[in-house]
Every structure is written in structure tokens, then in C-alpha cells.
Amino acid sequence: MGSSNKKVIAISGSPKKNGNTDKLIQWFSEGAAGLGAQVTVLRASELKSSVAGCQSCRACQKKEEYGCVFKDDVAEALLGMNEADVIVMATPLYFFAMSSQLKAVVDRMFSLYKWDNDKNTMETKLKGKTLVLLASAYEDAGLKELEAPFRLTADYTGMIYKSMLVPNAGVSGDITKRPDVRGRAVALGAQAVTGR
């Protein structure tokens, strides 16, 4: 099938281990790693943070390097996004949105962009990378709303966007009862690193 030397960073937004979100990441990773990609998986709930989300201090805009000025695990994860070819965001549906654990990381992605308001320009190292959303919901409601900010971010940034939304996934761990989902997730992992 060929091989890939791509780097993948996956951020799990679920505070639960071995639940539906973890399974989606595991299966996606199988597809990517099976083609030689290097996959790093981080749990948002385990990243030590010195601040509660983005502080809107804009100090990141005053330095030449891309990245958050608050030095903690989240800042390291953001630097990992700069180095990755594929960025995976995985989350359960919580009140028609991503989990708060993941949102705290996503908001600090502000530091990975440089804006010049006078020239009306934006630059980022994320341009051209692939952004993948893996999301599941207990029932068939809310996933399109959850997806909107990820799709908008990819469009705005100039990223390739892929998603796998799994309605009716059931309670934590029930997704393993859906063999169709495993196959789709593995295939998406392969597609993400081959660009197909």
C-alpha cells in the first residue's frame, strides 16, 4: 500500500479512557500508522495548563515565533501541531459542542497565527496541513453544530479538512458494537496521511 513519513498529532477531548472517542482515535491511528505515519496521541484532560484557556493577552502576536507564551503542556501540544502534517481533534458531543477540555486547547491555537490588522493579513504554519475531526454522539443530534467551528477553522486557515461524525454511538464504549465505524476510521487514517 505504500508508506508515509507523515507526522500525526491527535488530541483526545474525552476525559474518559477507553470510551468511544479513544476507540475512534485508536482505529484512525491504525490506518495512519499502518502506512508508516508517526502518530502521537495526547489527552486534553491530562495536559497540565498554567492558565484556563486563552487569556487574550496577545503576547503571542508580539513575538516572532509561533506559539503560546505560557509555558505548559498545552503550549507543547500546540508546538506539536506546528510540526505535524495531520492534526486530529477528537471529541464526544457535549451540549451540542466539543468538550471543554478540547476547547481550552483549541482556543490557545490563536497563538499559532500571526495577524497584521493594518495590512489585513494572516500567516500561519498550519496552512496546507490536514485537520481531521473525529466526533461521536449518543444519539443523532448536534454533530453538525459541533463540526461547524472545525470546518470554519480549516477553511479560514487553508487546511485540508476531513471528518468522521458518528451519530447513535451509544454510551461510552458502545461504539465497539459498530464494526462499520471501525472500518471507516481505519480508512480515514490512511486517507489522511496519503492525501487521498
Domain containing 19 — which CATH number? 3.40.50.360
Residues sharing a CB contact under 8 Å with residue 119, sequence separation 6 or more, in sequence order: none
pLDDT at position 33 is 92
Does residue 156 lie within any of the structural domains?
A: yes
pTM for this prediction: 0.93
Round to whole Å and give the CA distance between 25 and 27.
6
- Domain count across the chain: 1
Read off the pLDDT of residues 88-145 as tens digits, 9 standing for 90 and up.
999 999 999 999 999 999 999 999 999 988 898 999 999 999 999 999 988 888 999 9
Domain assignment present for residue 141? The answer is yes
Q: Is residue 74 part of a domain?
A: yes
Closest C-alpha to 193, from 82, 41, 1, 32 = 32
Parent domain of 119: 7-194
36, part of any domain: yes
Residue 2 domain-assigned? no
- Domain assignment of residue 1, yes or no: no
Query: What's the pLDDT score for residue 1?
Result: 46
- Quote the cell numbers at residue 88: 486530529
